[in-house]
Amino acid sequence: MTKPTIIADGIVLTCDATNRCGRYNILVSNGRILSISENLDSLTKEHPDATIIDAKDKLIVPGFVNAHYHGESFLLRALTKGAHFGLWEEDAQLSQARNKLLHSSSYDDVRRIYLAASLAHLRSGTTCVGEFPPLLGEDGFVQMLDAIASTGVLGVVALQNWDQIRKVQSLREKKPKVAVSLGKEKDFTVYSIEKLSQSAKELKAPLLAHIAEQREDVEVVRNNFQKDILTLLNSFNAIRRNTILVHANHTTEEEVMMVKEVGGTVVVCARSTAAKQTGYPALRHLAKLHVRLCLGTDWGSVDMIEEMRFMSQLPLIVPGLRVFSSLEILRMATINGAIALGLHNELGSIEVSKHANLTFFNVADIRLPRLHSNSSAEELAEVIVHDLTSGGVADVMINGEFKVCDGKVVSLSEPDILKEFQSTYEKFIPDTVPSRAQPLQPQAEQTLNVLPFIADVRSSQDETEGFEAGFPAIPKQATIVEIADTPVNPLVKRPKPNSDPIRPELPKNTRRVFGDDEEL
């Protein structure tokens, strides 16, 4: 039995059913929380041998749960930045790097990537990750699992192919937490859905449906099955309370109702899908029906505070979108994520008998709002969502053991891990990655046809597709049309001015970019 620890006099926000908060003392023993008390003296008398940690300048919350993340993106994000998701498969550099990563000669690089990514999660206050890995073979899959486990971060891994499924089935001890992915919508068949559902049942694992991220994904299923995605999965009894539903950007209200009826949770990745230009989660439907939501950073970022802040700012961008409170958003990043991954009985909130997975923020900073013992749960959550950053993470505890102290990793050598990752980065990423942004040309060289921005009233009225349909990928062969400077001939009769000065007549070669049905 390990020596107990008392975390004394910290400002605690539990994220339990009552959102209890205030100055508390937390007794931890054998990796679990034994007591949460306002009386420090009583705890020290009962446990005189306990180690006491002074936390009077700390704000303590449950360790964040990143419910959906692609670990490979920690390396490959340099190749996808600024690119529309629909063009990723056409990118030669990205395809080459992905294929190289799947080769057996790169499995040590896989270990380095996941070690670095997991350490970055840890440093950012995240203690549990829903990992969506690439199609690694058995050996690469094992390297990935070992790398995540070595940091202490708990990974719930979505199995992507039969090699990974067979490997988990063969493990007798230390089986990882897993889910069974249903794969890409374009690969859905009656056989695949039934077979993968059976495998999930045998492994006693949930299904994971990575769905409707793009409008094209929805259309593929409609064409192949004459049904919407969630309607299709529901016909196979694949929409259950424990099914992990990721993205669901382009879903209808009727589909969302199915999730509500089974008490399911949807993992929203708003910041990532905005960067990919694939649309936003169907938040109008989800909020209207009070579906439980949790957060995932998805691609590139490991920063859950940035993800929470983006969720809080969406109503500033899209008029009419429901405003979530800071406390609601914090719960999306903690207990709701644990529910989605099937771990809510073990983590996600600070409660007696749960694992002591805790994130500590240093709030003794003149730049932060003043906190006191009587600060409400909403006030504490507002500080996290609006004022703190991941740089303010002081300490991280997993299973009662400090993994980060005073901003420094305890059990692993961060410089060594960074050095190894840098070596892998230089192997996969070229010295010069071309910018996706097009530089502005001097006026004398190029004149662009610029369409005036017209506010789309559908963004606040139409709920059939959420609040953002996403931008279509622009084919690579598309070119910008230059307008030649033509001298004015006074003998040529000029057309009458447009009667509507706000809507000028546009050249016939102007390409519409906001949708064919928009009035210009």
Which residues 6+ apart lie within 8 Å of 463 measured at CB?
253, 284, 285, 288
Report the chain (520 residues): mean pLDDT per 10 consecutive residues: 91 98 97 97 95 96 98 97 93 96 97 98 98 96 97 98 95 91 96 96 96 95 96 96 96 96 97 91 94 97 98 89 95 98 98 98 92 92 97 97 96 96 95 65 52 42 47 51 43 46 47 41
Q: Do the beta carbons of residue 210 and residue 182 sit within 8 Å?
A: yes
Q: Do the beta carbons of residue 350 and residue 26 sit within 8 Å?
A: yes
* pLDDT value of residue 451: 46
Helix H or strand E segment including 235: helix 229-235
Closest by Cα among 361, 358, 286, 297 to 324: 286
CA separation for the pair 334, 123 (Å, rounded): 16
Return the CATH number of the domain spanning residue range 64-181.
3.20.20.140
* pLDDT value of residue 473: 60
DSSP, res 421: H
Q: Do the beta carbons of residue 108 and residue 143 sit within 8 Å?
A: yes
Task: Return the beta strands (E) in 109-214 as ranges.
Answer: 126-131, 154-159, 177-181, 207-211
64: its two tokens: 């964040």
Q: What is the pLDDT of residues 487-509, one digit of tens each?
A: 444 444 444 444 444 444 455 55
414: its two tokens: 């961060």
One-character DSSP codes across 455-466: --THHHH--EEE
For the CA atoms of the chain, what is the radius of gyration?
Answer: 26
Residue 353 CA to chain centroid, in angstroms?
A: 28
* pLDDT value of residue 282: 92
Model pTM score: 0.86
Domain boundaries of the chain, sorted by first residue: 64-181
Residue 512 CA to chain centroid, in angstroms?
A: 31
* pLDDT value of residue 8: 98
